[in-house]
Structure 1
Amino acid sequence: MRIGCAWLVPSLLFFLEQALAANILAIFPYRFPSPFQLINPLVRALSQRGHKVTMVTPVNFPPDIEGVRHIRVPLLDLQTTEVIESDQMKEYFSSKWSESFLTSRALYNISYAILSDNGVQQLLRNRSEQFDIITLETVHMDALFGLAGFYNAPIMGMSTLSINWAVDYLAGNPSPSVYEPISPAGYSWERSPLSRWYNWFYITEEQLIEQLIYRPGQLQLLKQFFGYPPEKLNELRARFSVILMNNHFSMGRVRANVPNIIEVAGLHLSEPPEPCDEQLQRFLDDAEHGVIYFSMGNEIMVRFLPESMQHTLLQTFSQLKQRIVWKREVEASDNRSDNIYIINQSPQRQVLAHPNVKLFITNGGLLSTIEAVHSGVPMLGLPVFFDQFGNMKRMHFVGVAETLDINTLTVEALSTTIRALLEEPRYARKAKELSQCFKDRPMNPLETAVWWTEYALRHKDVSHMRMNIEEVPFMRYYSLDNLLMLSLRFGLIAVFVIFLGVRLVKINQARQRLVHL
């Protein structure tokens, strides 16, 4: 009898796990590796917990994950290559509108590539296929929300970049106090009242761009592949339950989040770091005056930077007593000196974790920023585009970074800033304090992401997690009724004061005329 019970308990646990297992459809069309550093650990963890995950991705990204069904979309490679190599990229940063037109076309092509793919179409035609949740990036690809309607499933968002007002709206978190732009080019990071008014107009323009540029093409695809009318989109957007956000409140901005916005910055740190080779390890260990690590990330190649900037960097580095580890796309054996170690592919996390590394010169990519925060290393930001400016501004506000403009970079400015970051102890002290705050959590980021994913699977009615502003009148949501009454009172007082002042002036003028007579 005891033997039978001993056999029965694990069997019941096995069948219970199978009953709780869910079918998850994950759609991530990235054509560069950085975002998958966040996606892969979560997908792998969900698969290991018994969930059946189907991933829709490009042909080469990411490598196959054990236990995961992969649907590769060849057209994603073609569409992305077309946009990247197009001559229009030269105009990409000329204005917000030109940037939006090109981005809108790219996102339309990506949405079409996914929905028209043979593998995805087979899923849609196979009536035995059912999914309990749809997981995707929170960008302007609203046509993909049609999959949530098709499978009658909620949506879980992944925000691999910093959150913005568009993500806030998807989460049901439309508070103006937390608004941040989608594109920071031209956004004012000052805190004056004038800057706030300017930013309000700036984000209003972005909302107009969404309606006029991004939305029409996505609505066309929504009708083409699912037959949904434009009115259906608002209902689909309200299906967002949990949104995993690559941010943490310690990193420069405390936000007023609704319950379904979950901060999981550091999720990619759950993967084991790549070790340093013997030569690099010795270079770091023997650095008597410390090490400066320089990298512009995986997507910005040094050879694409202006030649003058490369000369400025090399001239500055050669004058420093610190050793330099320089990630650069050249053969390392041809580009070494006594204090400069050039490497093609850098084990960045291990380099930043080394106790001799005193400064990180970075473009300000979010993953690199998180890794520097985790390791407690001050930063010098050389941002180039998109969220990098905002990331470095926040690190500056926290007190662990300074930022320079790469377009006006000089040897003098670079040298002065590097010396300040190295010699003033407040930067290193603040970086260590920030690292401790960043790491101090009840659960690590991967455990947090898994728990909330399964919460969304357990509670598919997402209404209890969202603030539905459609149910709150505009006047009451912004307390405009109180403001109107207050303005009316002040207005009446102001009119009375002005009237009284005018009367007093006239009486005084009349008296002066009588005196002169």
Structure 2
Amino acid sequence: MISPGRRSCFLLCLWGMLLSPSFLSGARAGKVLVFPVDGSHWVNMKLLIQGLHERGHQITVVRTASSWYIKDVSPHYNSITVTLPQAINIEDEDFFVSFLSRMLEIQKAGASVLAYASFWWELLNGLSDIHRQASQLAVQMFENQALMDRLKETQYDLVLTDPGLPAGVLVAHELQLPTVFNVRWITSGEGHFVVAPSPISYVPTSGSNVSDKMTFAERLKNALHFLLNICIDRYVVSPHYDRIVAKYFGPDVNFYHLLQASDLWLMRVDFVFEYPRPTMPNIVYIGGFQCKPSEPLSADLAAFVEGSGEHGVVLMSLGTLVKGLPIEITSEIAAAFARLPQRVIWRHLGERPNNLGNNTMLVKWMPQNDLLGHPKVRAFVAHGGTNGIYEAIYHGVPIVGVPLLFDQYENVLRMEVRGAAKVLDVTKIDSQSFWEVLQEVLHVPSYRENMQRLSRLHRDRPMPPLDSAIFWTEFVMRHKGAAHLRTESYKMPWYSYHSLDVIAFLAVVLAVIVGVVVGTLRFLCLRLCRRSKPKLE
């Protein structure tokens, strides 16, 4: 006979199994064609691939021969390697180092308008080159008839792609397959601006570096950046893909519409990070899906961390794209670290800094998530990549932000607005200013309290974000798309989308009515005047 306690335990386990995402989804094993983006984006895509593989799905990853992180052999996927006429710049580690050095050089020198114009010219040309190179992935595949025939014969269920480099969107259209985006950035900036209403009066646009509470000057700045992003996308980025669309799909297909027609957007943000904004039913928020409870540290790291005593540990990492800052900046940072009673673990790949203190350990790699989850970690000095920020949120560790490139400025600003971070301008760092900011984040309780509050909000959800991503990906596979969640508004002319034709029609009707009323009153007044004139005489 089963005891009441065991019976209750059994029923709870059964109930938990019935409610689990894997049981509820019930998806058959499918075939998924994946187009990832290299670098830090691959870290996210790899987790989705592993999750789908564990659910029994067959994964095929399309990679280039020059891929930086995406390996051709993996236990989780098969690969298709495409050789491009020219390697994509972002697959070259030195590209980001030289780009950062050039940017810091201009910013530190207080450069002239001419120097800034020259830098922007180089930046836009570099961006154009990246998309020209990336677009050739679709061309090489379309021109390889044997490969395309093999892809069609395989009968994939969907294409999972990162639309930051959207060659996968073009291939998905050719294969007539549903698409799922693992996305935050697209060709024109932040993904919401393509798929959801985005009023620029309170929704910050890419590059504006403002919060959702804007002054008039900030709203003007936001509007100008919005227009700039549109121009860059239309005249610098999209032409490379427009030419391919025109050649292979004909004049009736619009590249931008292919982006907007995606069945599902797995958006790598969470509203503890993102500002409140309008959204759409085919957007699933999976921000922080790479986060997980920390695991035990290796013996050497554990000994170093535990030896920090009551003061604890400070972590520093600048992510995967940049090997290191110039020696003059890292030496100032090292001098500030040397003044701390805390121990420091610094992921550093460049030249060894001067002024390095005995309390600082330099490492080429560190288990960032596991360290952030350790109770002795007091602060995280970070460049502002979304992966690191979400891990800091998940574990409740306040941030000292040192943004370097791209969206990192906006990311750390979001944390600063929420009172969980303090941001430094990397070009103005000296040992004193860096030490003062560290002291503030380490010793003002509100920074940790605010980050821990964000952590509680981030964790309080009905389903882990990775499970949610897998469930909705399988949903698209089961139903061969999700058109019922997708608006068709992108097919409307711009004047119809903004109801300008309706406004114009109503304005004309109102003008006619006013004209008729005024004309009638004038006519009646004139008649009355004529009738009353003889009586007066």
Q: State the TM-score, normalizing by the size of structure 2.
A: 0.76
Equivalent residue number for residue 415 of structure 2 = 395
Q: Secondary structure at the match of 1:45?
A: helix
Equivalent residue number for residue 215 of structure 2 = 192
Equivalent residue number for residue 218 of structure 1 = 241
The answer on 1:264 being equivalent to 2:286 is yes
- Aligned partner (choices 177, 194, 203) of residue 226 of structure 2: 203
Q: Secondary structure at the match of 1:206?
A: helix
Equivalent residue number for residue 300 of structure 2 = 279
Deviation digits for residues 410-441 of structure 1 (CA, Å, limit 9, x no counterpart): 22211211111111111111111111111111
Equivalent residue number for residue 3 of structure 1 = none
Deviation digits for residues 305-362 of structure 1 (CA, Å, limit 9, x no counterpart): 2222112111111111111111112699x99753111111111111111111111111
- Aligned partner (choices 365, 384, 402) of residue 385 of structure 2: 365
Q: 1:471 to 1:114 in 2, by over 3 A?
A: closer
Q: 1:457 to 1:340 in 2, by over 3 A?
A: same
Give the conservation status (yes or no) of the 8 Å contact 2:343–2:359. yes
Residue pairs, 1:295-374, within 5 angstroms: 295-302=317-324, 305-329=325-349, 337-374=357-394
Q: 1:440 to 1:363 in 2, by over 3 A?
A: same
Residue pairs, 1:16-415, within 5 angstroms: 20-30=28-38, 32=39, 34-59=40-65, 61-63=69-71, 64-75=73-84, 78-80=87-89, 89=99, 94=116, 95-96=119-120, 98-116=122-140, 121-126=145-150, 127-139=152-164, 141=166, 143-159=167-183, 167-173=191-197, 175-176=199-200, 179-182=203-206, 184=207, 187-189=209-211, 191-224=214-247, 226-229=248-251, 231-269=253-291, 275-288=296-309, 289-302=311-324, 305-329=325-349, 337-415=357-435
Question: C-alpha displacement at 1:120, in angstroms?
Answer: 6.4
Give the conservation status (yes or no) of the 8 Å contact 1:284–1:291. yes
Q: 1:19 to 1:351 in 2, by over 3 A?
A: closer
CA distance in 1, matches of 2:98, 2:350: 28
CA distance in 2, matches of 1:251, 1:463: 28
Aligned length: 462
Deviation digits for residues 380-437 of structure 1 (CA, Å, limit 9, x no counterpart): 0010110100000000011100101011112221121111111111111111111111
Deviation digits for residues 131-168 of structure 1 (CA, Å, limit 9, x no counterpart): 22222112253x54232222211221111559975523
CA distance in 2, matches of 1:388, 1:58: 27
Deviates more, 1:132-141 or 1:117-126: 117-126
CA distance in 2, matches of 1:81, 1:248: 26
CA distance in 1, matches of 2:365, 2:178: 39
Equivalent residue number for residue 449 of structure 2 = 429
Q: Secondary structure at the match of 2:331?
A: helix
AA matched with 1:254: P
Give the conservation status (yes or no) of the 8 Å contact 1:352–1:375. yes
The answer on 1:443 being equivalent to 2:452 is no
Give the conservation status (yes or no) of the 8 Å contact 2:179–2:263. yes
CA distance in 2, matches of 1:470, 1:462: 16
CA distance in 2, matches of 1:155, 1:349: 31
Q: Secondary structure at the match of 1:257?
A: coil
Give the conservation status (yes or no) of the 8 Å contact 1:381–1:402. yes
**Structure 1: which 5+ residue stretches go unaligned?**
1-16, 493-517
Q: 1:474 to 1:105 in 2, by over 3 A?
A: closer
Q: State the TM-score, normalizing by the size of structure 1.
A: 0.79
Give the conservation status (yes or no) of the 8 Å contact 1:79–1:106. yes
Question: C-alpha displacement at 1:68, in angstroms?
Answer: 2.2
CA distance in 2, matches of 1:342, 1:468: 53
Deviation digits for residues 50-106 of structure 1 (CA, Å, limit 9, x no counterpart): 322211023453343325221123438833379765799476795555423311211
CA distance in 2, matches of 1:426, 1:404: 18
Give the conservation status (yes or no) of the 8 Å contact 2:204–2:210. no
CA distance in 2, matches of 1:79, 1:165: 19
Give the conservation status (yes or no) of the 8 Å contact 1:76–1:110. no
CA distance in 1, matches of 2:246, 2:482: 25
Equivalent residue number for residue 535 of structure 2 = none
CA distance in 2, matches of 1:296, 1:139: 21
Question: C-alpha displacement at 1:26, in angstroms?
Answer: 0.7
Q: Secondary structure at the match of 1:266?
A: coil
Q: 1:178 to 1:65 in 2, by over 3 A?
A: farther
Q: 1:414 to 1:264 in 2, by over 3 A?
A: same
Q: Secondary structure at the match of 2:291?
A: helix
AA matched with 2:392: A
Give the conservation status (yes or no) of the 8 Å contact 2:402–2:424. yes
AA matched with 1:432: Q
Q: Secondary structure at the match of 1:262?
A: strand
Give the conservation status (yes or no) of the 8 Å contact 2:327–2:351. no
Q: Secondary structure at the match of 1:75?
A: coil
CA distance in 1, matches of 2:87, 2:44: 24
CA distance in 2, matches of 1:221, 1:119: 12
Q: 1:21 to 1:174 in 2, by over 3 A?
A: farther
Deviates more, 1:66-75 or 1:466-475: 466-475
AA matched with 1:287: S
Question: C-alpha displacement at 1:464, in angstroms?
Answer: 2.1
Identity %, equivalent residues = 24
CA distance in 1, matches of 2:163, 2:333: 37
Q: 1:136 to 1:29 in 2, by over 3 A?
A: same
**Structure 2: which 5+ residue stretches go unaligned?**
1-24, 107-115, 515-537
Q: 1:230 to 1:306 in 2, by over 3 A?
A: farther
AA matched with 1:28: P
CA distance in 1, matches of 2:360, 2:408: 26
Q: Secondary structure at the match of 1:70?
A: strand
Q: 1:212 to 1:230 in 2, by over 3 A?
A: farther
Question: C-alpha displacement at 1:281, in angstroms?
Answer: 0.8
